[in-house]
Amino acid sequence: MLNCRDVGTNATEFLSGALPLKTNLLVVWHVLRCGNCRLAVIQIITMLMALRKRKAKPVSEAQVQAWLKAMEEHKHHHHPH
């Protein structure tokens, strides 16, 4: 499993789709269960979306929405961390 540090290190690549599928899934798995990393990823998404208004698009809109939706849905389950 990845720890928070690994997720932080890979976050930008993860969001730009540059990670291998298997690593990508590990990051998603961690982010869905870890509030700290979820916040970090949301911040990066926000930053990327802001950047994208001006130039290249590292992540597709649909992808970002799918992640945000997954995170939202997860929140409602109230799992203890």
Binding site for Zn ion (CB under 5 A): 4, 34, 36-37
Indicate the residue among 36 and 60 with the shorter CB distance to Zn ion.
36
How far is residue 4's CA from residue 76's CA, in Å, rounded to a whole number? 22
Token duo for residue 63: 């992808």
Residue at shortest CB range from Zn ion? 34
DSSP state of 5: H
Indicate the residue among 6 and 59 with the shorter CB distance to Zn ion.
6
Indicate the residue among 11 and 64 with the shorter CB distance to Zn ion.
11
Provide, rounded to whole angstroms, the least separation between the CB of residue 9 and Zn ion: 11
Residue of 3, 26, 27, 6 whose CA lies nearest to 15: 27
